[in-house]
Amino acid sequence: MIVLLLALFSPLAAASPLVVRFDSAGAAPAEPLLAILVVGETRTEIALRDDGERPDFAKEDSRFAGGSDFSGGKLTLILSAGGVELGSAPVEFTDPTAPHDVDVSMSAGELTVSVSAPPDPSGAAPPAGSGEPAPVGSPGGPPVAGGGGGGFVGAGGEASPQPVTFPTGDSGDGLLFIGVGVGLLALLGAGWLWRRWRAAPTSRSAEVQVVPEPGLLAPSFPSLSDGLAAWVAPGEARGILEPLLRHLADRHRVLVAAAADVELRPVAGGPVYRILGVRPSLVGDVAESLGREPGPPLCVLLVLDEAVEDALRDYRDLLPQDVGGLVLLGKAVNSGLPTVVVGVVSEGWSLQHGATTITVATSARGLDVV
């Protein structure tokens, strides 16, 4: 992230304060008075004012000043007054990264410029080896006669205030860099927390457990909380499909997986969802998606003519842990699942699971034990 911030803001970090000062020698130049910095095809205009506002020192003393940020070692300076260019001169900096004062003057129609390091308000001399001697009368340079303490001598022999160069760049740049960095860190932190939340386990804690449902229709029969159970209903016993679906939909949402030729009549309750396909992975994916939605408990009803043991094992393994259901088979198979055998009797249907046999009949809610 630090490398990214440096890459984004390196052009801003390389810019240095540049102040242009023009001494009109008492003349009143036409407005606007501009110092135009030309680098290649780029022109930067600096307004020069004599209003006593920084970086100008004194109001209406015929000395004009203006400032900007500049990056580079060479430029051409053009002085313009009232839209007319008065002259131009090349400017070169020995240290492009340091702040500079560019002093401009006109003599016999020629533009003269000199470059100096900005004076230090503490009065210290420029650092050794800077390559830019202190101008006459500046702090650290030779004083002008009659000027006290190295100040500049103004009109009437009075010493003007010691010059101080003030950067004109926006002081909020540093805060901008810090704000962008903090914003990027906040985004990264939010993304990390979101990934942690998505990856967090959804299982219930050991302190909160779901009480299993009772056996379906009889206490000893397989419960919908026990996973998948096989109901074998050959021939006419297949007619139990409709009341069985109505019974399941009375207290549950039901996902039905059956071939397209299996007719399902609308039932109350549920709701009942149907997918036209019996592929185990499809059933598992849809059951997992529906299981995350709010509502009554979800159960699955698979309607198959026949199935092999491996396919039934896949159905069982691919269902979510808290979703149970029934496989209604047309033929008996060694399924490895709890099995209920359905037969036809005069009252309705007989249901046999192990040593227990019960008789059920159609009712308003689906099936009732007779």
Task: Reduce the DSSP state of residue 197 to 3 states and report it.
Answer: helix
259: exposed, middle or buried (Cβ count in 10 Å: 0-12, 13-18, 19+): exposed
User: Binning pLDDT at 50, 70 and 90, where does residue 201 land?
Assistant: low
Band of residue 5 on the pLDDT scale cut at 50, 70, 90: very low
User: Rounded to whole angstroms, what are the CA distances from 130 to 116, 233, 244, 280?
Assistant: 10, 101, 96, 80
Residue 263 has pLDDT above 90, yes or no: no
Dist CA 154 CA 58 (whole Å): 10
Nearest by Cα to 15 from 83, 90, 73, 56: 73
Rounded Cα–Cα distance for residues 4 and 178 (Å)? 13
Rounded to two decimals, the pTM is 0.45
Instruction: Report which of 108, 155, 114, 96 is spatially closest to residue 21, judged by C-alpha positions.
Output: 114
How confident is the model at residue 24, as a pLDDT? Answer: 85
Token reading at 224: 């919908």
Domains of the chain: 14-173 (2.60.40.1110), 224-369 (3.40.50.300)
pLDDT above 60 (res 266): yes
The better pLDDT of the pair 173, 239 is held by 239
Quote the CA–CA distance of 320 and 293 in Å, as a whole number: 13
CA angle 332, 312, 228 (to 5 degrees): 95
What is the percent of the chain where pLDDT is above 70? 78
The Cα-based distances of 141 to 131, 155, 198 in angstroms read 14, 21, 69
Check whether 320 has a pLDDT greater than 90: no
HSE of 88 in the Cβ direction (CA atoms, 13 Å)? 11
Confidence check: pLDDT of 139 > 80: no
pLDDT recorded at residue 274: 93
- What does the alpha-carbon distance between residue 274 and residue 266 come to, in Å, rounded to a whole number? 11
pLDDT for position 130? 43
- Give residue 90's Cα distance to chain centre: 48
Q: Which two tokens stand for residue 107?
A: 């003599």
